[in-house]
Amino acid sequence: MDVKRRNEKDMKKLMPLAASIALILMASLFASAGSMAYFSDPETSNGNTFTATSLDLNVDYGDINVVKFTVINMRPGNQPKATFTLTNVGAIDGFLDLESIVVTSFENGRLDPEKEAGDITAGNPGKGKGELQDVVNLRLFIDYGGDGWISTGDITFFNGLVNTLPGNFELDEPINFGSTTYITALFDWWSTSNDNLAMTDSMVIDIGFELAQTTGQ
Amino acid sequence: MLRGKVKALSLVAKAVLVLVCLVLIIPGVIRLYPSLIGADDSYIVLGGSMEPTLSPGDLTFTEKVETAEIDVGNIVAVKTDSGIYTHRVIEKAESDEGILFRLKGDANEDPDSSYVNGSEIIGKTSFSLPMGYLFTKTGYILAVAAPLMLLAVAQAVKINRLYDTRKRRRGGLKAILLGKGGRRRRKFSILDTTSILLLLILVAGGTNMMAPYFISGGGSFFTDTESSTSNIIRAATWMVSSSITCSASPNPTVNLGENVTVLGSIIPARSGVAVTLTYGWNGTTMTRTVETNGDGAYYDIFTPNEVGFWTIKASWEGDSSYFGASSNIVTVSVSELMEE
């Protein structure tokens, strides 16, 4: 009897402690939920990333416009190329698209061999009247090694004459924060019978690189 | 005196706790029932692209409006294939497909790459609550860290008193939890008003902070666009081959003293350029120069002064665009005039 009473007494003694601990545990549960939300690394939820930080893309290690290539004496048989280094310097992952791709041609005056070849568009600079984009082929590829050449695993997303280049590519290529990917533009001027048409002609190529938090933007 | 002050202070503290509680609970309730404040939908902002107007975690409330009523400057929620997001209208354009909108996140350098159709707009953001504050350091401390700490300290003090000072009164669990029974019950109740309020704050704070992780869409999204413009490829000039023809008449024989007409043209036509004609006889040569006309044609009249085989060749040096060329050699046989 005595032992039982004492046990009951001890139990009663412990009750407030147990209740208090239960209360604090319950509070901690919600507090840790809040803490998890507060401290968690950026997580993807349904395509959106919840974060208070930002997304920042660098092209060739900077935020300023990059003039990537200036080829002044392109001839049939030449194969110039340029590799863009695209780095996600923000704090969250992003998806890369190419957009606002614009090719502007210039005639830069017609030389006799051009006329001879049948070039009927004149002008100097003759914006929109050049023929270079009709004879030069372009290959655009995600260049995982960044070596400038199409290697195993690289993804070629365009291969055609420059004049068929679309205005944008929804690549949805993921670039995790802190990571770098490369896109190489490989131009080929394979000799054709129309080459003389393009003599002295030029083309100005503008490319926009968009890093977006979601795909489909 | 002191007792009164403590009581007043305790009342103020409780009032503050009640206020914090309401600030945390009310947004959670109207998020679930937006109609309570006359809104149609509520969204939690998930990204920071609308900073500083909207921060991640902020609650926005939208009302459905006619497409025509949406103007430049409005913040709208849009439903696309990739989810729901909230951006500001910066351009409104009429098209064959209806009214199109160009949107942009305030913190984004560039507009969204594609236009959205009026039908994709869920509603205009009429009202927002800066619940993203919870995710700032002070917000986190106020709603989570401090209440938990206060609760822990309060409970520790209580337990300490309970066991060490032997002020516990009989009355069982009921008395301990609710403070009923016993004379000095208040000091020993575990669930006093302060603790309940602190617990409520933690429940509301934690729930609000977890909410963004359990909902779909409703975010805004970041983009950053960099460009590479003015990349130039310019074709060189290069020399193109040409050819030149040459013929003589009469041919193949001519009488001594008769004129020989030599003619031909440069292909492609080069006008006003010098063509060198080389006449050879018996190892000696003589050159004459003529100029092409507008069609690139030239001619020369020549009177051989010796009997025998004469060779005639035309050539030009070329110019900035064309390589020079030489014609085939034309041979003319000159014979003595036969007098009969």
| Domain ranges (residues) in chain A | 2-40, 49-212
- Is B179 touching A (CB cutoff 8 A)? no
* Structure-token pair, residue A107: 């005639």
pLDDT of residue B172: 53
Q: Are B126 and B64 in contact (CB under 8 A)?
A: no
Residues in chain A within 8 Å Cβ distance of B152: 24, 27
pLDDT tens, residue by residue, B289-340: 999 999 999 999 999 989 999 999 999 999 888 999 999 999 999 998 765 5
Instruction: Establish if A120 touches chain B: CB-CB under 8 angstroms.
Output: no
Regions in chain A scoring below 50 on pLDDT:
41-53, 217
Backbone angles phi, psi at B28, to 5 degrees: -65, -40
The CA–CA distances, whole Å, from B115 to B19, B95, B110, B112 equal 44, 11, 13, 7
Q: Looking at beta carbons, which residues of chain B come within 8 Å of A46? A: 83, 216-217
| Number of residues in chain A | 217
Where do the structural domains in chain B lie, given as residue ranges?
Answer: 13-224, 243-335
Are the Cβ atoms of B48 and A53 closer than 8 angstroms?
A: yes
CB of B292 less than 8 A from some CB of A: no
Nearest residue in B to A217, CA atom: B113
Q: What is the pLDDT of residues B183-230, one digit of tens each?
A: 444 445 677 788 888 888 888 888 888 777 666 444 556 677 788 888
Q: Which of B46, B147, B231 sits opposite A205 (nearest CB)?
A: B231
What are the helix (H) ranges across B180-328? 193-214
Q: Give Dmax (Cα) for chain A.
A: 123
Which A-chain residues 62-101 have CB contacts (< 8 A) with chain B?
63, 65-75, 80, 82, 84, 90, 92, 94, 97, 99-100
pLDDT exceeds 80 at position B180? no
The rounded distance, in Å, linking the Cα atoms of B129 and B110 is: 26
Does residue B180 sit in helix, strand or coil? coil
Q: Do A31 and B240 touch (CB under 8 A)?
A: no
Paired with B299 in beta bridges are B263
> Which pLDDT score, from 0 to 100, does residue B84 have?
77
Please check whether residue A169 is in contact with residue A158, taking contact to mean a CB–CB distance below 8 angstroms: yes
Per-residue pLDDT of B61-86, as tens digits, reads 888 888 888 889 999 888 876 667 88
Across the interface, whether the CB atoms of A48 and B191 are under 8 A apart is answered: no
3-class secondary structure, B127: strand
Per residue in A40-71, pLDDT tens?
533 333 223 333 346 778 888 877 778 888 88
Task: Look up the CATH number of domain B243-335.
Answer: 2.60.40.1930
Percent of residues, chain B, with pLDDT higher than 90? 24
Complex-level ipTM: 0.72
Average pLDDT of the residues of chain B: 83
Which chain A positions have a beta carbon within 8 Å of B78's beta carbon?
A: none
Q: Does B290 touch chain A (CB under 8 A)?
A: no
Q: How remote is the C-alpha of B111 from its chain's centroid?
A: 8
Q: With 0-12 CB in 10 A as exposed, 13-18 as middle and 19+ as buried, what is A60?
A: middle
B13-224 CATH fold: Umud Fragment, subunit A (2.10.109)
Which residues is B337 bridged to in the sheet? none
User: Which two three-digit tokens encode residue B314?
Assistant: 């035309």
Q: What is the pLDDT of residue A54?
A: 62
Asked if pLDDT for residue B234 goes beyond 50, the answer is yes
- Tell whether B153 is within 8 A of chain A (Cβ): no
* pLDDT tier for residue B105 given thresholds of 50, 70 and 90: confident
**Six token digits for residue B249:** 């008449």
Which residues 3-42 of B are in CB contact (within 8 Å) with A? none
